[in-house]
Amino acid sequence: MAIDGDTRNTLIFQLSEILPEQFLLTTNEDMKPYECDGLSAYQRLPVAVALPETIEQVQQIVKICSQLKVPVVARGAGTGLSGGALPHEGGIILGLSRFNKILEIDVKNQMARVQPGVRNLAISEAARPLGFYYAPDPSSQIACSIGGNVAENAGGVHCLKYGLTVHNVQEVTIVTIDGELLTLGSQTLDTPGYDLLALMTGSEGMLGIIVEIVVKLLPTPHSVKVLMAAFQKVEDAGNAVANIIAEGIIPAGLEMMDKPAIHAAEAFAKANYPLDVEAILLCELDGDDLELAEQIEIVEKTLKSSNAESIVIADSATEQAKLWAGRKAAFPAVGRISPDYYCMDGTIPRKQIAYVLKRISELSDACGLRVANVFHAGDGNLHPLILYDANKPGELELTEKFGADILKLCVEVGGTITGEHGVGHEKIDQMCVQFSPTELTQFFAVKNAFDPDALLNPGKNIPTLHRCAELGGMHVHNGELPHPEIPRF
C-alpha cells in the first residue's frame, strides 16, 4: 500500500527534525542498498531509511510512524535469507547498524551486554582474551548482527550442543510501537510471569524494536577435535548422523555436505575436501582430554560402521579452521557456479535425513533444477541450495515451487518450515501448511496485543487467514473465516 503525498512530506519533515541529513535517506539512489536482504529475489524501495544512533531517537521515530500510521521495518546487517527485512513500499526502514557497541562484558556472571548492531563474531572476539565466547555462530557471523540473530532466532554450527539464539539470550530491551521502553527477561535464571523473552526471540521485528541485548558467554573449551568423514552414499552419511546421536554423543557441531556443495566449497576455500565422494560429515567434539579421547573412539567406530570410506582427524587449530572454512563459505561458493541460487531452510527429525535427501534428489530430477545440500545435520536443519537463472523466464517461479515442495516435505515427515532463517516474506504461504486456523488466529492475537495497527514489519511471518483460504491450505466454514474479531492485516 502506497503512502499519500501529504503523509510522506509530513513524515520526512518530522524525521529530519530528529536525524542529521546523512542519516535520513530519501532518494532512490541512496535507498537502493536497502531494497532487499540476503534473499535478493524480492526487492522493494521504502519511503525512507532512518539510521538512528540512540534509543531516544528510535523512540521518537517510532512515535512519529505510529501517529502517521506508517509501517516500520527494522533492519540489522541485511544478511537475512527469508526476506524478513524486505521494505514496505508505504513505510520506512529503521536501520540499526549504528547501534554497534559492546556495552559490557561481565566475566563473573558470564554475560555480555551489547547493542543490536554488534556483529555476532565481534562478541566472541571481545570475550576471547578473557577465556569466553558466544556460542551461536551462523555462517554469516563475520557480518550478521546480534539484533538480527535474535529477531530470527539464528542458529549455527555449534547450536547442536549449545542451543539456538533463544537459549543464549538472557534479556532484551525493546521499543514498542508506542515508543515505550520495555525490558524482557533478566540476568537471573528465571523470572516471574510469561516468558516474553522467548516470545520476542524469533518474532522477526513484528512485536517490537530491539535496542539492547544481554547474551550468555561460555568458557572456551579446554580441547577441541574435528573429524571429517567421507561417504560414497548420501544415505550412509545421513544415517551416520542419527547413529552418532544414538550413541549418546552430542557433538559441538555436526555438519553435512553433498557432492555439489563439496566441489563448490573446495574450489572456493581450498579446504582439502575429497572430491571423489558423495558426501562428507564434519564433526566437532570438545571437552577435557579424557572425555575427548572417549568420544573420538566412539564416533570413529560409529562412522566406520556407518560405511565411512575415510576419516580424518584435525588436531591443530589451523587444520580445524581449514576444514570449517569450506563449510562456512559454502553459500558464497555455490554462488560462483550458478547465476542465482535459492537458499532453503527447513528442519526435520534426524532419523528422516536419508529419506528426505533422497526425495529432494527426486524432486530435483523432476523439475530439472540442480541442488547443493549443506546443512546442520546434527539438529536436522537442512539448507538445500537450489541453483537457477533468474534471467530465464519462469525459472524463478519454478524454483519457488520446488522450494515450497521441499518445505512441505519437511512438514510431512514431522519437521518444520524453518530452522534459523525465519519465515519473513519467503515462506509465508508455507505457514498455511504448517499451522491450523486456530493456531494462526492465536498468532494474530499475540501480534495484535503488541501492535494493534499492524505497523511493525507488516506482511511478514504470519499469513492472513484469507490468504491461506485462497491457497487451499485452510478450511472455510460457510464462506466465513474463524474469529472475525481478529484483525486480518
Which whole number is the average pLDDT over 49-74? Answer: 98
pLDDT of residue 471: 85
pLDDT of residue 2: 79
**Cross-strand bridge partners of residue 50:** 24, 94
Identify the band that residue 40 occupies on the pLDDT scale cut at 50, 70 and 90.
confident
Mean confidence (pLDDT) of the chain: 94
**pLDDT, tens only, 403-423:** 999 999 999 999 999 999 999
CA 162 – CA 249 distance, rounded (Å): 13
Q: What domains sit in the chain, N to C, each tagged with a CATH number?
A: 5-95 (3.30.43.10), 102-219 (3.30.465.10), 223-331 (3.30.70.2190), 340-412 (3.30.70), 436-489 (no CATH)
pLDDT of residue 354: 87
Copy the grid coordinates of residue 309: 570410506
Which whole number is the average pLDDT over 248-267? Answer: 96
Identify the band that residue 188 occupies on the pLDDT scale cut at 50, 70 and 90.
confident
Question: What is the length of the chain?
Answer: 489
pLDDT of residue 472: 73
Identify the band that residue 190 occupies on the pLDDT scale cut at 50, 70 and 90.
confident
CA 413 – CA 434 distance, rounded (Å): 12
Query: pLDDT over 70 for what percent of the chain?
Result: 96
pLDDT of residue 476: 38
Q: How far is CA 63 from CA 53, 89, 181, 227, 475, in A?
A: 16, 19, 12, 53, 39
